[in-house]
Structure formats: structure tokens, C-alpha cells
């Protein structure tokens, strides 16, 4: 699965993972050869679609940026989401990592079974207080897709030499529509620091966006490592649900309302049209046609019998 083995392309019909910065929500797409990777045997198309973005994001944050090592502790916000589950599974590839995960109470059983050591209901409890009860010194790594005041809380939770990685601003989105007030509030509450403050606290802050990774060797090498981990049975994408392209609004709403546990997948093939129930008139007409066909067959059989007697 190295680059030199895929640079010449694949035979028509080979199953591949294809990646691009945009333009992938369509039935046909053109992508560079170095952004295509063979799908391992036993991996479904849905798993192949779920793996790259979420797991590459989690992997690069944990291992390339935060240098996750045995004995460390990690706070994963939105632990039941696609990146959250990916990060949890990847943390489990390192010994003795303690995982704090925030999620609504209805998702705690799932994330606990998936490896979260301490699930916290962010809707009813102050996760900072809950973490301090268990780990008074705080945590080593915080993965923050929320932004705003949660970034400030995350920085405060860091142990000395800890790292906060911001990779989203979910707090900007509230309700059914864009909320300018929420965006303004999130922006106002963003953490503001200077380098002197970082020096005095011995903490680090980083930002991550997979779409702006330009290092092709890093990009390719990370996905190859993830495919190896999949084949070893150490990671496995969790598929929440699948929607056809014409159902994209429903898929987006499910994520927006934070109902999903794992990855929401879009299917390019059109949805099969459901059979419509017959009206009474159509049913009566079909009965008449069936009776006429049976009567015709009886008449033909009678004629054959008469011909046989002659």
C-alpha cells in the first residue's frame, strides 16, 4: 500500500478509498492518484467512507501533535461523534491511557463499551468539576471541537506540559438555524493568550484542520497506518446511519441535533422507490384482469380437450 504501488492506478472495478478537499458528494469524482488507497478485504464501503476523515484527524492530533504516550490522560469532547469514537479507539492502542469523554447520558453506555474510562454528561454536570474530582491535577491532552468558553475551560484543565488542540467551533451552532448571537458569544469567549502566559503555565495550544495538510507523505503515511490498524482489529469505524444523496438534509439534521453515535454516511446510489399501495379502483381492475386470464386459460384447455376427442 505504499505510494509506489498505487501510482500507476488500479484496474477498473477495484475498490478504493478516494479523498479530496471538496467535490466528493457526487456519484462520479476525479481525484489525484496519490489520494486513492486500496480498500482491505473485509472492509465494507461504508467503513471505508467512515475511516479517512475522522481517524486521520484523531490520529494526527493524538500522535503527531500531542505525542500521546503510556500513562497519559485525554479529554475527548463529543465522545460519541465520529472523531470522538476514532480518538477513543486510537487511545486504546497505547497502554494505560485514561479517557474522559463528554456526551449526553443516553450515549454513555455506548462510549463506555467503546473504551471511555469516565463518561460525563455535559448537559447536567460541570465536566471541569467532575474531572477534578477524579484527577485533581487535570489532564494531559484536551481535544476541543467546541470553541468559545470550552476552550478556556480546556486550557485550565491542562496539567503542566499538557496540550490543548482546537479543531472545531461547534458552539457557534445552536437551534435549527444559524445563530448570529451564538457565533458572537463564542467569538467573544474565545481564549486569548500571549506567549508569556504560555511560558509561565508550561502549556501548549495547537489548532488542527485536516483540509489544510499539504504534506502528501504525511497524509498518505497516516492513512496507510490506519488501514494497518484496521486489519489488525485495533480500530473499526462505528456507523451510526446511512442516507442516500436525496436524503442529505435528513443526514445533516441528525448530526446538527447531535443524535448520532458514530459516523453518518451518504450513499451515492439512488434510493429504491417504494411500491405505492393500490387504490380500490386499481385493485378491482387488477382482479378483473386476473379473472379474465384464468377464464381464457380454461377455454384454451377445453378447446384442446375437444380437439383431442376429434
Domains of the chain, by residue range, sit at 28-267
Query: pLDDT tens-digit profile of 5-31?
Result: 444 467 788 899 988 877 888 888 888
Task: Give this prediction's pTM.
Answer: 0.80
State the fold for domain 28-267.
Answer: Rossmann fold (3.40.50)
- Beta pairing class for 16-18 and 36-38: antiparallel
- What is the rounded distance in angstroms from the CA atom of residue 26 to the CA atom of residue 5? 27
- What is the rounded distance in angstroms from the CA atom of residue 75 to the CA atom of residue 154? 8
Query: pLDDT tens-digit profile of 26-43?
Result: 888 888 888 889 999 999
pLDDT of residue 257: 85
Give the single-character DSSP code of 96: T
Amino acid at each position: 500500500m505504499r505510494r509506489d504501488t498505487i501510482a500507476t492506478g488500479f484496474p477498473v472495478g477495484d475498490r478504493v478509498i478516494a479523498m479530496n478537499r471538496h467535490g466528493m458528494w457526487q456519484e462520479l469524482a476525479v481525484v489525484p492518484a496519490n489520494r486513492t488507497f486500496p480498500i482491505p478485504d473485509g472492509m465494507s464501503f461504508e467503513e471505508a467512507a467512515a475511516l479517512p476523515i475522522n481517524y486521520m484527524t484523531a490520529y494526527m492530533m493524538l500522535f503527531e501533535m500531542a505525542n500521546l504516550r503510556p500513562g497519559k490522560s485525554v479529554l475527548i469532547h463529543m465522545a460519541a461523534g465520529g472523531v470522538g469514537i476514532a480518538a477513543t479507539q486510537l487511545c486504546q492502542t497505547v497502554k494505560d491511557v485514561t479517557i474522559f469523554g463528554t456526551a449526553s447520558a443516553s450515549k454513555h453506555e455506548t462510549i463506555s463499551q467503546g473504551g471511555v474510562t469516565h463518561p460525563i454528561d455535559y448537559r447536567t454536570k460541570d465536566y471541569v468539576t467532575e474531572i477534578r474530582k477524579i484527577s485533581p491535577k487535570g489532564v494531559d491532552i484536551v481535544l476541543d471541537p467546541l470553541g468559545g468558553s470550552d476552550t478556556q475551560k480546556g486550557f485550565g484543565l491542562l496539567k503542566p506540559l499538557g496540550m490543548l488542540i482546537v479543531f472545531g467551533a461547534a458552539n457557534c451552532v445552536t437551534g435549527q438555524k444559524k445563530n448570529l448571537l451564538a457565533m458572537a458569544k463564542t467569538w467573544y469567549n474565545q481564549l486569548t493568550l500571549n506567549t508569556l502566559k504560555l511560558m509561565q503555565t508550561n502549556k501548549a495550544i495547537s489548532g488542527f484542520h485536516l483540509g489544510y495538510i499539504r504534506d502528501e507523505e504525511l497524509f498518505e503515511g497516516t492513512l496507510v497506518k490506519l488501514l494497518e490498524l484496521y486489519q489488525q482489529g485495533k480500530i473499526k469505524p462505528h456507523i451510526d446511519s446511512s442516507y442516500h444523496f436525496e436524503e442529505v438534509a435528513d443526514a445533516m439534521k441528525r448530526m446538527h441535533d447531535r443524535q448520532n453515535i458514530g459516523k453518518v454516511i451518504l450513499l451515492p446510489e439512488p434510493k429504491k422507490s417504494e411500491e405505492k399501495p393500490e387504490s380500490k379502483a386499481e385493485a378491482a381492475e387488477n382482479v378483473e384482469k386476473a379473472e379474465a386470464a384464468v377464464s381464457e386459460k380454461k377455454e384454451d384447455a377445453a378447446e384442446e380437450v375437444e380437439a383431442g376427442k376429434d
